[in-house]
Amino acid sequence: MTNLTRASRELFRRTPDETFPSLTALSQFCRWQKEQSAEVWQPPRVLGTSPVDGERLMLTAGDAQAYRLNDWSFSQLCRLAGVSKETVNRLRPETADRVFRETLPPGDKPLQLFTEGGTLRSIHSASYTRLFNAELLDTVQEAAIDFQPPPKGIDDATGLYAGEQDLFCFLIDPTGWTEIGGEAFAPGLFVWNSEVGSRTVGVQTFWFQQVCRNHIVWDAVEVVEFTRKHTANVRDSLGEIRQIIERLVARRDQRRDGFVKVIHRAMQERLGDDADEVIKVLQGHGIQQSLAKKATEIARQHGALTIFALFDALTQISGTLRYAADRTAADFKAARLLALAA
């Protein structure tokens, strides 16, 4: 088992305006962002900068519109010119403009300017292939049936984020709990993407035991991860991601159906014919005699000494134990009883 911290890192780096209250709201934003964005192709030789109000630079592209630069596109412009972003940020706009005039490369091979209104979101060569966040979310919503955001974390973090650079989505199925190796797990997944090239597109699926308010996923098993760069075949990743999520959903349904059958059998099968026999069986499974006797008494009050009645009784007793370590050990031993009905 492993602890997954990807969602926790996202929680602490996201601002409130990048956090969305629901998957529907996140999808609507991504569709709006796609509709507002456009690609403009220009050769490097016509690119330039222009200082505005003595405070900032605009990117100019020949006779086309001048564009505001955000942090990401400014970083890309500096890399294109081969100059240090940190150094340029220390210069006055007029001085920075002269630096770019001297360093921006010439050439006629078009560059892709990705814009949103009057803002330049990114600059890429022809080898970059964009995958829109809206397309990724459509795939996720179609495949991840019954999945929803995790419980809210610190500062009402939802696990659903999107900004000018990228998207991140954390989903779980709160009704998908099932037994794996005698312990309870539920399915979950992360997906991520960037329309501007700041990160890969990818998915990670897993089964987990707990999510804390920091959105650390504790005790994850069966972790599957897939990533792809934004190259010519990036759209093929949607099919890969769909298949990975569908496999998780199919496994969830299979395990949930199997778990229901186990519970049904556990409610029918007796652990022994009388209290003394049941206590001996419980002791044989590592349960102390005092706990075994108490659990048997509780189960008899409900009229049965079935596996499920004793499992339920031991779970009730566990909740009254003082120390967390004792509660955990008792829950583990109780869960192992269900394996007798498998």
Does residue 168 sit in the same domain as residue 234? yes
Q: How far apart are the first and last CA of the chain?
A: 23
Residue 39, domain member (yes or no): no
Residue 126, domain member (yes or no): no
* Polymer length in residues for the chain: 342
Look at residue 270 in the predicted model and tell me its pLDDT.
81
Does residue 301 sit in the same domain as residue 189? no
CA-based nearest residue to 81, from 111, 61, 66, 101: 101
Does residue 237 sit in the same domain as residue 135? yes
Look at residue 326 in the predicted model and tell me its pLDDT.
67
Given 93, 108, 123, the domain boundary residue is 108
Does residue 48 sit in the same domain as residue 20? no
Given 185, 214, 247, the domain boundary residue is 247
Does residue 241 sit in the same domain as residue 277? no
Look at residue 14 in the predicted model and tell me its pLDDT.
95
Distance CA 256, CA 269 (A): 20
Mark the ranges of the chain whose per-residue pLDDT is less than 70: 54, 63-64, 181-182, 258-263, 303, 322-332, 335, 338-342
Does residue 58 sit in the same domain as residue 21? no
Does residue 70 sit in the same domain as residue 103? yes
Does residue 281 sit in the same domain as residue 322? yes
Q: What is the 3-state secondary structure (H, E, C) of the chain?
A: CEEECHHHHHHHHCCHHHECCCHHHHHHHHHHHHHHEEEEEECHHHEEEEEECCCEEEEEECCCCCEEECHHHHHHHHHHHCCCHHHHHCCCHHHHHHHHHHHCCCCCCCEEEEEECCEEEEEECCCCCCCCHHHHHHHHHHHCCCCECCCCCHHHCCCEEECCCCEEEEEECCCCCEEECCEEEEEEEEEEECCCCCCCEEEEEEEECEECCCCCEEEEEEEEEEEECCCCCCCHHHHHHHHHHHHHHHHHHHHHHHHHHHHHHHHHCECCCCHHHHHHHHHHCCCCHHHHHHHHHHHHHCCCCEHHHHHHHHHHHHCCCCCHHHHHHHHHHHHHHHHHHC
Look at residue 278 in the predicted model and tell me its pLDDT.
80
Residue 18's domain comprises 2-33+131-247
- pTM check: above 0.85: no
CA-based nearest residue to 58, from 110, 15, 100: 100
Distance CA 338, CA 182 (A): 8
Residue 255, domain member (yes or no): no
CB atoms within 10 A of CB 238: 18
Number of independent structural domains in the chain: 3
Does residue 169 sit in the same domain as residue 239? yes
Residue 257, domain member (yes or no): no
Does residue 208 sit in the same domain as residue 233? yes
Does residue 22 sit in the same domain as residue 170? yes
Look at residue 11 in the predicted model and tell me its pLDDT.
96
Look at residue 199 in the predicted model and tell me its pLDDT.
95
pLDDT tens-digit profile of 268-282? 788 777 888 888 888
Look at residue 177 in the predicted model and tell me its pLDDT.
81
Residue 295, domain member (yes or no): yes
Look at residue 197 in the predicted model and tell me its pLDDT.
94
Does residue 241 sit in the same domain as residue 300? no
Output the CA torsion 298→301→306→307 (10° steps): -20
